[in-house]
Protein backbone atom coordinates (compact mmCIF):
# COMPACT_ATOMS: atom_id res chain seq x y z
CA UNK A 1 0.00 0.00 0.00
CA UNK A 2 1.17 3.51 -0.74
CA UNK A 3 0.02 6.52 1.32
CA UNK A 4 0.06 10.25 0.66
CA UNK A 5 2.21 13.06 2.02
CA UNK A 6 -0.69 14.91 3.65
CA UNK A 7 -0.67 16.15 7.24
CA UNK A 8 -1.69 13.80 10.05
CA UNK A 9 -5.47 13.73 10.27
CA UNK A 10 -5.91 15.06 6.74
CA UNK A 11 -6.83 13.17 3.57
CA UNK A 12 -4.78 10.18 2.45
CA UNK A 13 -4.50 8.70 -1.04
CA UNK A 14 -4.04 4.93 -1.04
CA UNK A 15 -2.91 3.11 -4.22
CA UNK A 16 -2.49 -0.66 -4.29
CA UNK A 17 0.22 -0.72 -7.03
CA UNK A 18 2.44 2.37 -7.05
CA UNK A 19 4.54 0.94 -9.91
CA UNK A 20 2.85 -1.12 -12.62
CA UNK A 21 2.62 -1.75 -16.35
CA UNK A 22 0.29 0.46 -18.36
CA UNK A 23 -2.28 -2.29 -18.87
CA UNK A 24 -2.51 -3.01 -15.14
CA UNK A 25 -5.53 -1.57 -13.37
CA UNK A 26 -4.81 0.09 -10.03
CA UNK A 27 -7.11 0.76 -7.11
CA UNK A 28 -7.29 4.36 -5.83
CA UNK A 29 -8.94 5.26 -2.52
CA UNK A 30 -9.03 8.58 -0.66
CA UNK A 31 -9.62 8.49 3.09
CA UNK A 32 -9.76 11.04 5.90
CA UNK A 33 -12.33 13.29 4.20
CA UNK A 34 -15.32 15.14 5.64
CA UNK A 35 -18.35 12.86 5.10
CA UNK A 36 -20.69 13.92 2.26
CA UNK A 37 -18.31 16.73 1.21
CA UNK A 38 -16.64 17.15 -2.18
CA UNK A 39 -13.03 16.31 -2.99
CA UNK A 40 -11.22 16.84 -6.29
CA UNK A 41 -8.61 14.41 -7.58
CA UNK A 42 -6.13 15.66 -10.18
CA UNK A 43 -3.74 13.40 -12.07
CA UNK A 44 -0.72 14.88 -13.86
CA UNK A 45 1.25 12.61 -16.19
CA UNK A 46 4.90 13.51 -16.83
CA UNK A 47 6.00 12.02 -20.19
CA UNK A 48 9.73 11.96 -21.06
CA UNK A 49 10.47 14.52 -23.76
CA UNK A 50 6.85 15.69 -24.08
CA UNK A 51 4.35 18.00 -22.39
CA UNK A 52 2.44 16.86 -19.28
CA UNK A 53 -1.06 15.40 -19.55
CA UNK A 54 -3.74 16.06 -16.96
CA UNK A 55 -7.16 14.84 -15.84
CA UNK A 56 -9.42 15.61 -12.89
CA UNK A 57 -12.56 14.36 -11.19
CA UNK A 58 -14.67 15.63 -8.28
CA UNK A 59 -16.32 13.13 -5.94
CA UNK A 60 -18.60 13.30 -2.91
CA UNK A 61 -17.15 11.47 0.08
CA UNK A 62 -19.35 8.74 1.56
CA UNK A 63 -20.62 8.62 5.15
CA UNK A 64 -17.20 7.30 6.27
CA UNK A 65 -15.31 10.19 4.67
CA UNK A 66 -14.02 7.92 1.92
CA UNK A 67 -13.90 7.86 -1.89
CA UNK A 68 -13.23 4.60 -3.75
CA UNK A 69 -12.79 5.00 -7.50
CA UNK A 70 -13.66 1.34 -8.09
CA UNK A 71 -17.17 1.96 -6.73
CA UNK A 72 -17.97 5.65 -7.08
CA UNK A 73 -18.65 7.89 -10.07
CA UNK A 74 -17.47 11.51 -10.14
CA UNK A 75 -20.01 14.33 -10.04
CA UNK A 76 -17.82 16.33 -12.46
CA UNK A 77 -14.54 16.01 -14.27
CA UNK A 78 -12.87 14.66 -17.40
CA UNK A 79 -14.83 11.39 -17.30
CA UNK A 80 -18.18 10.13 -16.09
CA UNK A 81 -19.55 6.93 -14.59
CA UNK A 82 -17.82 4.38 -12.40
CA UNK A 83 -14.40 3.83 -14.00
CA UNK A 84 -11.50 2.81 -11.75
CA UNK A 85 -8.98 3.96 -14.40
CA UNK A 86 -10.94 7.00 -15.58
CA UNK A 87 -8.27 9.46 -14.45
CA UNK A 88 -5.79 7.62 -16.66
CA UNK A 89 -7.69 7.27 -19.93
CA UNK A 90 -9.35 10.71 -19.78
CA UNK A 91 -6.11 12.71 -19.52
CA UNK A 92 -5.22 15.20 -22.26
CA UNK A 93 -2.14 17.35 -22.97
CA UNK A 94 -2.03 20.63 -21.06
CA UNK A 95 -1.00 22.47 -24.24
CA UNK A 96 0.01 21.69 -27.83
CA UNK A 97 1.61 18.28 -27.74
CA UNK A 98 5.26 17.76 -28.61
CA UNK A 99 6.69 14.43 -29.79
CA UNK A 100 7.88 12.19 -26.98
CA UNK A 101 11.51 11.15 -26.81
CA UNK A 102 12.29 8.29 -29.26
CA UNK A 103 13.30 5.96 -26.44
CA UNK A 104 10.71 7.32 -24.01
CA UNK A 105 8.89 3.99 -23.75
CA UNK A 106 11.84 2.58 -21.81
CA UNK A 107 11.38 5.15 -19.05
CA UNK A 108 8.41 5.16 -16.67
CA UNK A 109 5.72 7.81 -16.86
CA UNK A 110 5.49 9.57 -13.51
CA UNK A 111 1.92 10.23 -12.39
CA UNK A 112 1.22 12.63 -9.56
CA UNK A 113 -2.17 12.28 -7.90
CA UNK A 114 -3.39 15.17 -5.75
CA UNK A 115 -6.52 15.35 -3.60
CA UNK A 116 -7.94 18.73 -2.57
CA UNK A 117 -10.94 19.31 -0.30
CA UNK A 118 -12.12 22.55 1.28
CA UNK A 119 -10.88 23.03 4.84
CA UNK A 120 -8.37 20.17 4.66
CA UNK A 121 -4.73 19.93 3.75
CA UNK A 122 -4.06 18.57 0.27
CA UNK A 123 -2.64 15.08 -0.21
CA UNK A 124 -0.54 13.69 -3.00
CA UNK A 125 1.15 10.50 -4.09
CA UNK A 126 3.44 9.62 -6.99
CA UNK A 127 2.97 6.56 -9.19
CA UNK A 128 4.97 4.94 -11.99
CA UNK A 129 3.33 3.61 -15.15
CA UNK A 130 5.58 1.51 -17.37
CA UNK A 131 5.36 0.41 -21.00
CA UNK A 132 8.52 -1.72 -20.67
CA UNK A 133 8.83 -4.17 -17.82
CA UNK A 134 12.02 -5.37 -16.18
CA UNK A 135 14.45 -7.02 -18.58
CA UNK A 136 12.82 -5.79 -21.82
CA UNK A 137 15.35 -4.63 -24.43
CA UNK A 138 14.86 -2.11 -27.26
CA UNK A 139 16.75 -2.48 -30.56
CA UNK A 140 16.60 -0.12 -33.54
CA UNK A 141 16.24 -2.15 -36.77
CA UNK A 142 17.40 -0.97 -40.19
CA UNK A 143 18.63 -3.99 -42.06
CA UNK A 144 17.55 -6.08 -45.00
CA UNK A 145 15.06 -3.38 -45.97
CA UNK A 146 13.26 -3.63 -42.61
CA UNK A 147 12.85 -0.38 -40.66
CA UNK A 148 11.45 -0.27 -37.17
CA UNK A 149 12.11 -0.93 -33.48
CA UNK A 150 12.32 -4.40 -31.96
CA UNK A 151 11.43 -5.11 -28.34
CA UNK A 152 12.52 -8.41 -26.82
CA UNK A 153 11.41 -9.94 -23.52
CA UNK A 154 13.97 -11.28 -21.05
CA UNK A 155 15.64 -14.56 -21.93
CA UNK A 156 16.96 -16.17 -25.09
CA UNK A 157 13.60 -17.51 -26.24
CA UNK A 158 12.09 -18.91 -28.29
CA UNK A 159 9.45 -16.18 -28.18
CA UNK A 160 6.17 -15.84 -30.05
CA UNK A 161 6.34 -12.67 -32.14
CA UNK A 162 4.06 -9.81 -33.20
CA UNK A 163 4.49 -7.22 -35.94
CA UNK A 164 2.92 -3.97 -34.70
CA UNK A 165 1.63 -1.47 -37.28
CA UNK A 166 0.72 2.15 -36.61
CA UNK A 167 -1.99 4.09 -38.40
CA UNK A 168 -2.31 7.19 -40.55
CA UNK A 169 0.33 9.13 -38.62
CA UNK A 170 3.03 6.94 -40.13
CA UNK A 171 6.45 6.69 -38.52
CA UNK A 172 7.11 4.26 -35.68
CA UNK A 173 4.81 3.80 -32.68
CA UNK A 174 6.62 1.89 -29.95
CA UNK A 175 4.47 1.73 -26.82
CA UNK A 176 2.35 -1.28 -27.83
CA UNK A 177 5.45 -3.28 -28.73
CA UNK A 178 7.13 -2.45 -25.42
CA UNK A 179 4.04 -3.64 -23.56
CA UNK A 180 3.83 -6.85 -25.61
CA UNK A 181 7.48 -7.58 -24.82
CA UNK A 182 6.67 -7.06 -21.14
CA UNK A 183 4.25 -10.00 -21.49
CA UNK A 184 6.69 -12.34 -23.22
CA UNK A 185 6.31 -11.50 -26.92
CA UNK A 186 9.01 -10.37 -29.32
CA UNK A 187 7.42 -7.31 -30.90
CA UNK A 188 8.55 -5.37 -33.96
CA UNK A 189 7.14 -1.86 -34.39
CA UNK A 190 7.36 -1.77 -38.16
CA UNK A 191 7.43 1.54 -40.04
CA UNK A 192 5.93 1.57 -43.52
CA UNK A 193 5.71 5.26 -44.47
CA UNK A 194 6.66 8.72 -43.19
CA UNK A 195 9.99 7.47 -41.86
CA UNK A 196 13.53 7.96 -43.15
CA UNK A 197 14.19 5.56 -46.02
CA UNK A 198 10.48 4.92 -46.67
CA UNK A 199 7.76 6.67 -48.73
CA UNK A 200 6.55 10.06 -47.50
CA UNK A 201 2.91 9.25 -48.22
CA UNK A 202 0.50 6.40 -47.75
CA UNK A 203 0.43 5.76 -51.48
CA UNK A 204 1.05 2.42 -53.22
CA UNK A 205 2.87 0.88 -50.27
CA UNK A 206 4.03 -2.53 -51.59
CA UNK A 207 2.95 -5.60 -49.65
CA UNK A 208 6.30 -7.11 -50.64
CA UNK A 209 7.83 -4.85 -47.95
CA UNK A 210 5.83 -6.75 -45.32
CA UNK A 211 6.69 -10.11 -46.88
CA UNK A 212 10.32 -9.13 -46.45
CA UNK A 213 9.77 -8.16 -42.81
CA UNK A 214 8.06 -11.50 -42.15
CA UNK A 215 10.99 -13.38 -43.69
CA UNK A 216 13.39 -11.33 -41.55
CA UNK A 217 11.56 -12.28 -38.35
CA UNK A 218 11.28 -15.93 -39.40
CA UNK A 219 15.09 -15.99 -39.75
CA UNK A 220 15.76 -14.78 -36.19
CA UNK A 221 17.13 -17.32 -33.72
CA UNK A 222 14.73 -16.27 -30.99
CA UNK A 223 11.66 -17.19 -33.07
CA UNK A 224 12.43 -20.77 -34.19
CA UNK A 225 9.40 -20.82 -36.49
CA UNK A 226 6.99 -20.15 -33.64
CA UNK A 227 3.81 -18.07 -33.62
CA UNK A 228 3.89 -14.80 -35.62
CA UNK A 229 0.94 -12.40 -35.55
CA UNK A 230 0.20 -8.91 -36.89
CA UNK A 231 -1.36 -6.19 -34.75
CA UNK A 232 -2.55 -3.00 -36.46
CA UNK A 233 -4.46 0.13 -35.44
CA UNK A 234 -6.82 2.16 -37.70
CA UNK A 235 -5.21 2.17 -41.17
CA UNK A 236 -2.76 -0.28 -39.66
CA UNK A 237 -5.76 -2.46 -38.74
CA UNK A 238 -6.89 -2.39 -42.36
CA UNK A 239 -3.32 -3.29 -43.33
CA UNK A 240 -3.17 -6.14 -40.77
CA UNK A 241 -6.28 -7.74 -42.29
CA UNK A 242 -4.83 -7.26 -45.78
CA UNK A 243 -1.48 -8.82 -44.81
CA UNK A 244 -3.18 -11.76 -43.13
CA UNK A 245 -5.37 -12.43 -46.16
CA UNK A 246 -2.44 -12.13 -48.60
CA UNK A 247 0.57 -13.66 -46.83
CA UNK A 248 -0.05 -17.18 -45.47
CA UNK A 249 2.93 -17.16 -43.05
CA UNK A 250 0.90 -15.13 -40.52
CA UNK A 251 -0.66 -17.11 -37.64
CA UNK A 252 -3.08 -14.52 -36.23
CA UNK A 253 -4.40 -10.98 -36.57
CA UNK A 254 -5.32 -8.29 -34.04
CA UNK A 255 -7.03 -5.30 -35.67
CA UNK A 256 -8.07 -2.18 -33.75
CA UNK A 257 -10.84 -0.10 -35.38
CA UNK A 258 -10.02 -1.53 -38.83
CA UNK A 259 -11.88 -1.27 -42.10
CA UNK A 260 -13.06 -4.38 -43.89
CA UNK A 261 -12.63 -2.57 -47.21
CA UNK A 262 -9.51 -0.91 -48.59
CA UNK A 263 -9.45 2.88 -48.56
CA UNK A 264 -7.42 5.24 -50.72
CA UNK A 265 -4.02 6.71 -50.01
CA UNK A 266 -3.12 10.18 -48.83
CA UNK A 267 -0.19 12.39 -47.99
CA UNK A 268 1.76 15.40 -49.23
CA UNK A 269 2.36 13.79 -52.62
CA UNK A 270 -1.30 13.27 -53.55
CA UNK A 271 -2.84 16.67 -52.78
CA UNK A 272 -3.68 17.30 -56.43
CA UNK A 273 -5.96 14.28 -56.80
CA UNK A 274 -7.88 14.61 -53.51
CA UNK A 275 -6.92 11.18 -52.25
CA UNK A 276 -7.93 9.34 -55.42
CA UNK A 277 -4.99 6.96 -55.33
CA UNK A 278 -4.30 3.49 -53.99
CA UNK A 279 -2.81 3.04 -50.53
CA UNK A 280 -1.47 -0.45 -51.25
CA UNK A 281 0.06 -2.38 -54.12
CA UNK A 282 1.06 -5.99 -54.70
CA UNK A 283 3.18 -7.51 -57.43
CA UNK A 284 3.32 -4.23 -59.28
CA UNK A 285 -0.44 -3.65 -59.24
CA UNK A 286 -2.30 -0.98 -57.27
CA UNK A 287 -5.02 -2.60 -55.16
CA UNK A 288 -8.64 -1.38 -55.57
CA UNK A 289 -9.97 1.06 -52.98
CA UNK A 290 -13.46 2.18 -52.03
CA UNK A 291 -13.47 5.64 -53.64
CA UNK A 292 -12.13 4.32 -56.95
CA UNK A 293 -14.88 4.74 -59.58
CA UNK A 294 -17.44 5.00 -56.77
CA UNK A 295 -20.79 6.25 -58.09
CA UNK A 296 -22.23 7.01 -54.64
CA UNK A 297 -19.52 9.36 -53.36
CA UNK A 298 -21.02 12.44 -51.71
CA UNK A 299 -18.30 15.01 -50.80
CA UNK A 300 -20.99 17.58 -49.93
CA UNK A 301 -22.05 15.43 -46.95
CA UNK A 302 -18.98 16.61 -45.01
CA UNK A 303 -18.92 20.15 -43.60
CA UNK A 304 -15.29 21.17 -43.14
CA UNK A 305 -16.31 24.53 -41.62
CA UNK A 306 -17.20 22.94 -38.28
CA UNK A 307 -15.02 21.21 -35.73
CA UNK A 308 -14.69 18.37 -35.17
CA UNK A 309 -15.26 17.35 -38.79
CA UNK A 310 -17.64 14.39 -39.11
CA UNK A 311 -16.74 12.30 -42.15
CA UNK A 312 -18.96 9.33 -41.33
CA UNK A 313 -21.77 10.46 -43.70
CA UNK A 314 -19.38 10.34 -46.66
CA UNK A 315 -18.06 6.90 -45.74
CA UNK A 316 -21.61 5.61 -45.41
CA UNK A 317 -22.44 7.06 -48.81
CA UNK A 318 -19.45 5.31 -50.37
CA UNK A 319 -20.70 1.98 -49.02
CA UNK A 320 -23.91 2.31 -51.09
CA UNK A 321 -21.99 1.48 -54.28
CA UNK A 322 -22.18 -2.31 -54.07
CA UNK A 323 -19.74 -2.89 -56.93
CA UNK A 324 -17.11 -0.59 -55.39
CA UNK A 325 -17.50 -2.33 -52.03
CA UNK A 326 -17.08 -5.72 -53.65
CA UNK A 327 -13.90 -4.63 -55.45
CA UNK A 328 -12.35 -3.15 -52.30
CA UNK A 329 -13.39 -5.82 -49.78
CA UNK A 330 -10.50 -7.55 -47.97
CA UNK A 331 -10.84 -11.36 -48.34
CA UNK A 332 -10.46 -12.01 -44.61
CA UNK A 333 -11.66 -15.61 -45.08
CA UNK A 334 -8.16 -16.36 -46.36
CA UNK A 335 -6.48 -15.51 -43.05
CA UNK A 336 -4.68 -18.58 -41.69
CA UNK A 337 -5.41 -18.15 -38.02
CA UNK A 338 -7.61 -16.44 -35.41
CA UNK A 339 -8.69 -12.82 -35.83
CA UNK A 340 -9.43 -10.40 -32.98
CA UNK A 341 -11.32 -7.23 -33.91
CA UNK A 342 -11.55 -4.35 -31.42
CA UNK A 343 -13.75 -1.30 -31.90
CA UNK A 344 -15.15 1.56 -29.86
CA UNK A 345 -18.72 2.62 -29.22
CA UNK A 346 -19.84 5.93 -30.71
pLDDT in tens, 24-36: 999 999 999 999 9
Question: What residues contact residue 151 under an 8 Å CB cut-off, 6+ apart?
Answer: 132, 136, 137, 138, 139, 174, 177, 178, 180, 181, 186, 187, 188, 189
Residue 1, in any domain of the structure: no
**Quick one: 123 and 206 in the same domain?**
no
Q: Is the pLDDT at 272 greater than 70, yes or no?
A: no
14-26, pLDDT tens digit by residue? 999 999 999 999 9
Residues 103 and 121 in one domain: yes
Q: How many CA atoms lie within 13 A of 160 on its CB side?
A: 13
Give me the residues paired with residue 152 across strands: 137
Q: Is the pLDDT of residue 159 over 50?
A: yes
Give the pLDDT mean for 282-308.
Answer: 93
Same domain assignment for residues 164 and 290 = yes
Q: Is residue 2 part of a domain?
A: no
E strand residue ranges, 61-217: 67-68, 76-77, 92-93, 109-116, 123-130, 137-143, 146-152, 161-165, 186-190, 205-206
The CATH number of whichever domain residue 92 belongs to comes to 2.60.40.2240
Please tell me whether residues 252 and 202 are part of one structural domain. Answer: yes
pLDDT class for 99, splitting at 50, 70, 90? low
Whether the per-residue pLDDT at 275 is higher than 90: the answer is: no
44 domain-assigned = yes
Q: Is 70 a member of any domain?
A: yes
Give per-residue pLDDT as tens, 183-227.
Answer: 999 999 999 999 999 999 999 999 999 999 999 999 999 997 889
Distance CA 65, CA 32 (A): 6
| Same-domain status, 66 and 175 | no
Domain boundary pick from 101, 130, 159: 130
In a domain? residue 168: yes
Instruction: Verify that 111 and 222 share a domain, yes or no.
Output: no
Report d(CA 225, CA 72) in Å as an integer.
48
Would the pLDDT of 160 be above 90? Answer: yes
CB distance 59 to 84 below 8 Å: no
pLDDT value of residue 113: 98
Q: Which domain, by its residues, includes 99?
A: 12-130
Task: Using pLDDT thresholds of 50, 70 and 90, give the confidence band for residue 2.
Answer: very low
Tell me: do 248 and 328 sit in the same domain: yes
**Are 49 and 89 members of one domain?**
yes
From 65, 99, 130, the end of a domain falls on 130
Q: Are 137 and 162 in contact (CB under 8 A)?
A: no
Q: Are residue 285 and residue 168 in the same domain, yes or no?
A: yes
Q: Is the pLDDT confidence value at 317 over 80?
A: yes
Same domain, 229 and 207: yes
Q: Is residue 6 part of a domain?
A: no
- The 3-state secondary structure of 175-203 reads HHHHHHHHCCCEEEEECCCCCCCCCCCEC
**φ and ψ of 223, to 5 deg:** -90, -50
Strand partners, 123: 115
Please tell me the total count of domains within the chain: 2
Radius of gyration (Cα) for the chain, nearest Å?
24
- Nearest CA among 195, 318, 208, 209 for reference residue 262: 318
Q: What is the pLDDT of residue 346?
A: 59
pLDDT for 4 equals: 40
| HSE value, Cβ hemisphere, 13 Å, CA-based, for 170 | 18
Instruction: Reduce the DSSP state of residue 15 to 3 states and report it.
Output: strand
Residue 105 forms part of a structural domain: yes
4 within domain boundaries: no
Per-residue pLDDT tens digits for 237-251: 999 999 999 999 999
User: What's the helix, strand, coil split of the chain in %, to 5?
Assistant: 20, 30, 50
CA 73 to chain centre: 25
Q: What angle do CA 17, 18, 22 make, to 5 degrees?
A: 75
* CATH code, domain carrying 265: 3.40.50.1820
Same domain, 93 and 185: no
Last-in-domain residue among 85, 103, 130? 130
Q: Do residues 158 and 297 both lie within one domain?
A: yes
Amino acid sequence: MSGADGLRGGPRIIVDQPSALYDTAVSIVVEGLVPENPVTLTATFHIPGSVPWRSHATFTADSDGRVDLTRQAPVAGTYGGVAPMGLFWSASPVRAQTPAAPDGVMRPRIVRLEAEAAGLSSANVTLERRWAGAGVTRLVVNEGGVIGTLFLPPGAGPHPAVIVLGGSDGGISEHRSALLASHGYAALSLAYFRCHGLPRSLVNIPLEYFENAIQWIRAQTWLHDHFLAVWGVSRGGELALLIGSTIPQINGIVAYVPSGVLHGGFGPDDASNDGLCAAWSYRGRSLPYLRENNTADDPASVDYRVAPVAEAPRYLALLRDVSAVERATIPVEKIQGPVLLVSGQG
